[in-house]
Structure 1
Amino acid sequence: MERNVSAPLPAEQRLRRLKRIAILAPAAYMLLLLLGSQLLERLLPNPWAPRLAVIALVLIGIVVFAEWIFRIIARQQATLAQQNAELQALHEAGLAIASDLDLDKLLAQVVDQARRLIGARYGLLIMREQPGMPPIVFASGLPADRECRISEITSHGLLDQVLREGRSLRIDDLERYPGQRHFPEGHPAMRTLLGVPIRSGETILGALYLADREDNAPYTPQDQLRLERFATQAALAITNARLHRRITSLAIAEERERIAREMHDSLGQVLGFVNLKARVAADLINRGQAAVAAEELEQMRTAVQEAYQEVRQAILSLRATAPGRGLVASLREYIQRLREQSGLDVRLEAGENLRFPPAVEAQVIRIVQEALTNVRKHARASAVTVRFAPDPGDGTVVTVSDDGQGFDLASVEAGRGARFGLLTMRERAESIGGTLSIESAPGRGTTVRLWIPGGAQHGTDSRPDR
């Protein structure tokens, strides 16, 4: 039958009750001894007999009371030890799912960890999608040698109660429980069931189901409470993974818009320039001015070469910002290709284990790319260093320093610096909670300094990557 879990007596209330009993019980016992001793003094002629009887009863009462108190303490210790073990298991299960931002992998982890947490043979996770879309279904523990197309089920019978009504379900005997069952071919027989909703606020994200404990015992109210707590952690992890997916989609859309804008600003202008020069060269050739036409064609060749470099740089930037590769690995590949294409001596100083959230890493990569692009285009530098260093506070400092010609920062910031992309870099830094500053002077090179919060497992490597 379906059961609801009654709330256990609060620990503070149990302690207050125990304190009252510990005070009132000895007082009542001593009162009874006092009354009993007066009665014995009247009944027994020997005055020592009542006193010895009272002493014996006091000793017996002390022993009995102490035994009772210690048994209560032992039960409390056992309960606390069990609760600590359950919390530790719940904490470990929560950590296992909290670190995964890939939604599909996370959902598979949720149902696997739920099985391990409760000790169940089978697990099922049903996630609600957008209206009109089929639900997402993940199963765990089903026999590998038997085909069971559980994802093809369009209705789940009594399981839908948890999804629709958002209340937990605990069934000791599925055969006797009323309601429809929609099992696909190859589905194993099951006897007991435990189902809990996965909520985010008032919204039901999905439901988590377990069937048949490994020890064949029925599910207990403690199992239900533990699974409900785990479902709360799962809801947070799922919400976080969905948010990460949306942020990634927005970042992709932003990157596409940036590429389109750059293509329009750079490649579009170059093609317009080439088209104009081609007309001029054709007119000069028709007028027999071949030498002048050759000069125009040379300008065309130079413009096309620059456009070719711009396209290669854009492709290189896209490769470096591919998701899932890691910050240092992406920058290392980008810098290696930049060396090959530009001849610049670029050094990367960063620890292999440097980690940030994926959205932060994507912006850091783009800022470093923009700074290096400025060096390649404008600095006339021979060497540049990219360095990640821990900040004395809770953060990381990224510097891009070159030995180039430098520039007048005041005049650039006054309006002539749009071509350097300084505003874009600052906006990217602010979007991840960081700050960006630039130090430069004519003949003294340029340093772009980015500060960003965090930076797990920093371990900056002192060995430069060449």
Structure 2
Amino acid sequence: MFLGGKGSAVSVEKVVEKAEKTPPSVRSTLSQLRLRELLREVQDSLEQMADVRDHLDGLLEAMLAVSSGLELDTTLRRIVQAAIELVDCRYGALGVLDADGAGLAQFVYEGIDEQARDEIGALPTGHGLLGLLIEQPKPLRLDELSHHPASSGFPANHPPMHSFLGVPVRVRDEVFGNLYLTEKTGGPFTDDDEVIVQALAAAAGIAVENARLFEEARQQQRWQEATSEVRAELLATADPGDVLSLIAHRVLTLTGSDYAFLAHPEDPELPAGEVSTLVVSACTGLRGGTLDGRAIPIDGSTCGAAYREATPKIADRLVYDVSAGLDEEFGPAMALPLRASADSVSGVLVAVRRPGREPFRRSALSLAASFADQAAIALKRAEDQRRLYEFEVLEDRDRIARDLHDQVVQRLFAHGLRLQSAKARTRVPEVQRRLGELIEDVQSIVSEIRTAVFDLHGGLQGSTGLRKRLGEIIAEITGETALQTTVRMAGPIGVLSPGLGEHAEAVIREALSNVVRHARASTVTVNVYVGDMVTIDVTDDGVGIPETVARSGLHNLSRRAADAGGVCTVDNADGGGTRISWTAPLN
């Protein structure tokens, strides 16, 4: 049997014979040296095992710390803190990639205080060595980072950094960002540090995914709560404008925008293909001024494209500057069509951020678009319910009008005829006078009922509103006086245009004000009649209008009559007093 190498061989017997000839003291010394060497090796191995155990314990603690929360921002900061403690370095950061994966959208750092942060200036955006890690997402370990060709140096007031370790953080095989560590205590980063940080990055990816899923679930809950709030508001309020403002405000809050507005077709009855202009109906977020009433062309605008194509749009800037003339400036925007159905778009909901802010992410588009669709459906249902209610009211009014005309008016006519017959048969003057007054009252009642029938047929927006306003004006001016007031209104007052209705209100207010201030009258009669002409007659039994009184108010009445194509006359009333007659053509 031989032991040897390189062509030589030594017999075992000769080795044993040589050892037997060695003095005992030398053999003892050699044995002790070998034992000490073995003990040192065992000790080194134990120390290495202890270091590995400590590293594993530290890694386990770091993983537990990283995965202990569900808030994304908090989780990112915990990842950086755990990495710093794990490899014993001074500075650490985590750069989150933007939506395109070409730069950094967020930079979470540790080890630099706020004063130093302010002195350094803007945070990194993904250039130089950080950009290399974005382009080539794999571990990078350097003893001196300034020697690397991709290093672009540091800005002024930046603390010196030498050793460097960068590791990508992946979420479901997609690079979420990169973990950067610098200035390891006691020398450069080691292979063990790289392995440990890679393991931490893998755990960090799972923690980030969990935090993302939690944030998405919470966002979905917020959008659902906003949708429920809009529906509840539609049921509780009669003013759609309040609901539109609520929708704009909720979108502004949930998308992290600075401004939000809604725009609807200028003529809502037109088919979507024929709409050429959108008009802003509600806005929020502006510090001064408003967008309400501003027109947005369908052609050549981001809002118009979202409306016509019925597709949500994200843009770095709105095409067609709807903020012209305001102190505000618009940047990234998201335009959402209000789709009540697949083929029905009632408007657009737009969220806007200031210039320089992060663009809207595609991932947020689906939730926002779903909210816009739900809001459109809720608005459509509320409009349908309102129209159904109006139809029911109109149907009920038609029934009442028929009953009044076919029953009440006919019975009054019969009573009037009987009164006229009784008046013709009596020869007592006092009885004839009283019967004559009753006949006039019946005629007046019939006239008022006919006017009510006109009002009932006039729809919800008919003459009832104008009649009510005129009555309120008369009560407001004469209510605190001793005047005995008689008011008669006849004819289809509901056909008056808004402008003519405004004239009527102003004429009655001015004429009654003259009676109260100057006439010293005890009675005043107001007649409003609508036929081919609108006639307003105000008669009092006072002393008339003195010559010394300024006639600016009467001049105003004449000017209003002339503007409406009519005339205004002021005459002495029969038996004393003043009669103001104001007439204007209905059309």
Q: Give the TM-score range, shorter chain.
A: 0.3 to 0.5
TM-score, normalised with respect to structure 1? 0.44
Q: Which has the larger radius of gyration?
A: 2
* Bigger proportion of residues as strand: 2
* Bigger proportion of residues as helix: 1
